[in-house]
Structure 1
């Protein structure tokens, strides 16, 4: 499968801009709430058996399961039924926020990265699935936002299907990053009988593993003569 990511600048109207900012704010709240829940659970397991902290104490039952992604996603579905703020944002967008938090903890465990931090601001969120016939001339149709104008600086790739979209807020405005996929697979590199190592040298333009040195062709100087 071949995957391409194209970036376009968004040109939202006032209502769409307000909706985007609301999504960013709610996603930030969900991320920070999920992080606090995990942090409290971990701290509750650090308290000694025979003593309590004089600063604070996390009273969480011993049989309470660790709040991983599946646990938090289930609670999110329940909370959306009564919380009007959560209701206002696409459910898949909020689930992707929890997946981002899950990935941060996974990177901490397996890649040695630092403990996840609370977010003062959230710069982006993801629509994991695109709508049918969502691509138009200078516009894209997104869940909850509807048709939104873009500055189509390049044509959509032929033979590819839009699979996922991310909205990013930058200092220069809002941007849309669309992931396109194709069922075609990239051909494997042909395996030859011999291999050759090539290195860009300082004194020579190219040095090969066979000891051959190639001087710089100096195309510009040859054309100026």
Structure 2
């Protein structure tokens, strides 16, 4: 498989932009809530068995399972039936928000320290549609689920043989962008080594030394430029 990422400028209408901004805010709140839920569970397991602080720690029953991605996803599905604002956002966008948090926690466990940080207002600036059944781009428009058809500036064509597998909508200071993840079912051959390998070492007296014994002097570009 060969994957490419192309970024294009999109121009949503006023109603569409308001909806997209609302989605970003809802994703930020869900991300922060899920993060707080995980941190509270972990902190509740750090307190002493015979002396748990009711002022600094939440008391969570010992048999409460760890709120991993799948449990939080199931809880979010139930919450959508009770909270009207959650129904407005596409379900796959919610999945990406929780996957983003889960990925941050796995990275934290890998390095051994540092909880993921809460997102302040305006810091959550993208959401993802992870899959499409058909090509969402038609001419100079892109169709986004639950948002509608949005004008897109295709400053370069999509390569022939590639399919759009994922779309990330990003808010930047210069406007809205759609990052298209393109995929082609082709095999990319591994680069074959050619010739004999050599070692290169950067030095102080000499610019570099090669394992073959060659020494390269400093180019002195700056001095040569002023000499002319």
TM-score by length of 1: 0.86
Correspondence list, 1:115-194, <5 A: 115-120=115-120, 121=122, 122-192=124-194, 194=196
Runs of 4+ displaced beyond 4 Å: 196-209, 211-216
Q: Work out whether residues 130 and 142 of structure 1, in 8 Å CA contact, stay in contact via their aligned partners in 2.
A: no
* Gaps in structure 1 of 5+ consecutive residues: 219-225
1:3, CA displacement in angstroms? 0.7
2:4 matched to 1:9?
no
1:192, CA displacement in angstroms? 3.9
Matches of 1:169 and 1:86, distance apart in 2:
21
SS of aligned partner of 2:164: strand
State the Cα RMSD in Å: 2.5
1:53, CA displacement in angstroms? 1.8
Correspondence list, 1:16-55, <5 A: 16-53=16-53, 55=55
Matches of 2:214 and 2:188, distance apart in 1:
32
Matches of 1:45 and 1:201, distance apart in 2:
52
Aligned to 2:224: none
* Gaps in structure 2 of 5+ consecutive residues: 222-228
Aligned to 1:89: 89
Shifted more, 98-107 versus 138-147: the winner is 138-147
Shifted more, 121-130 versus 136-145: the winner is 136-145
Aligned to 1:100: 100
The 3 A distance-change label for structure 1 pair 207 and 136 is farther
1:114, CA displacement in angstroms? 2.2
Matches of 1:186 and 1:143, distance apart in 2:
32
Aligned to 1:223: none
1:10, CA displacement in angstroms? 1.1
Q: Work out whether residues 131 and 141 of structure 1, in 8 Å CA contact, stay in contact via their aligned partners in 2.
A: no
1:7, CA displacement in angstroms? 0.5
TM-score by length of 2: 0.85
SS of aligned partner of 1:9: strand
Matches of 2:39 and 2:109, distance apart in 1:
14
The 3 A distance-change label for structure 1 pair 87 and 180 is same
The 3 A distance-change label for structure 1 pair 65 and 189 is same
